[in-house]
Amino acid sequence: MTRTIAVASQKGGVGKTTSTINLAAAFAELGHRVLLIDFDPQAALTLGMGINHQNLGKSVYEALTSPVQLSAVIKEVRPYVNLLPATIDLAGAEADLMGEMGREHVLRRKLEPIKDEYDWILIDCPPSLGLLTINALTAADGVLIPVQTQYLAFRGMQLLLQLVKKIQQFANPNLKVAGLLPTMFDARIIHDREVLDEIRATYPDWLIDIPIKRRSAVADAIVANQSILEFRTNSDVAKSYREVAEVLANAS
């Protein structure tokens, strides 16, 4: 059965796109078929997978706002991993969809014909709580929230959880919190440890207690258009993402 996970955070720079790329790599190692959806107009996921968004003929924008089917836009980027790429044009999608009937369900409807081709669909959401994020949450079975172990990121996570509750009430009653994933954690810093402890105390049932450590190799991997599992396959961060993938797979 296909699992659709929206990877979301209201705050940028918390490891959302990085986590999407590395979880896709971890699922692919398990032999699972993965569709990545770049739902952020900054197109970081598209760039991170080695696709030049400036040379794309069609992107997720056309698939959302015209009769173009998702299958006409999807690109194979790795064994077992396909990508629905984005361009800056996606920034205009919210305005274009505003007049649509059932506008929060557009992505869900578009996914129906191809959904069963994949074991996992991972949606990299924009760092906002607008219509694109609402579409992603309405299409998803679960939401994975990367939380940088910093106070402002923790506060932003709480605002996102409020939106998740509204989506559950009005658009997608089957949506669940797939997990809160601590990211960019440095155990040497007191503040990081304090925020992690606060997450553990406040959300013990949702926390995936496998903190992703801050490592320069993670950023280096993105620059090289690789996951950390490819770039530093035996690193502690690669091991952590493999463990997170196992947790998500076992929960499905």
**Residue 223 located in a structural domain:** yes
SS3 37: strand
**Residue 230 located in a structural domain:** yes
Whole-angstrom distance, CA of residue 51 vs CA of residue 115: 23
**CATH code for the domain in which residue 135 is found:** 3.40.50.300
In angstroms, what CA-CA distances link 62 with 27, 68, 87, 90, 228? 28, 6, 10, 9, 31
Whole-angstrom distance, CA of residue 87 vs CA of residue 205: 36
pTM of the model: 0.96
Parallel, antiparallel, or unpaired for β 81-84 and 75-78? antiparallel
Amino acid 55: pLDDT:
76
**Residue 213 located in a structural domain:** yes
Amino acid 54: pLDDT:
76
SS3 76: strand
**Residue 250 located in a structural domain:** no
Whole-angstrom distance, CA of residue 247 vs CA of residue 179: 9
* Domain count of the fold of the chain: 1
**Residue 249 located in a structural domain:** no
Whole-angstrom distance, CA of residue 42 vs CA of residue 248: 27
Q: Which range marks the domain in which residue 109 is found?
A: 3-239
**Residue 233 located in a structural domain:** yes
SS3 234: coil
Per-residue pLDDT of the chain (252 residues; tens, 9 = 90+): 899 999 999 888 899 999 999 999 999 999 999 999 999 999 999 999 999 877 788 999 999 999 999 999 999 999 999 999 999 999 999 899 888 888 999 999 999 999 999 999 999 999 988 999 999 999 999 999 999 999 988 888 888 999 999 999 999 999 999 999 999 999 999 999 999 999 999 999 999 999 999 999 999 999 999 999 999 999 999 999 999 999 999 986
**Residue 81 located in a structural domain:** yes
Read off the tokens for 71: 């299958």
Amino acid 252: pLDDT:
66
**Residue 196 located in a structural domain:** yes
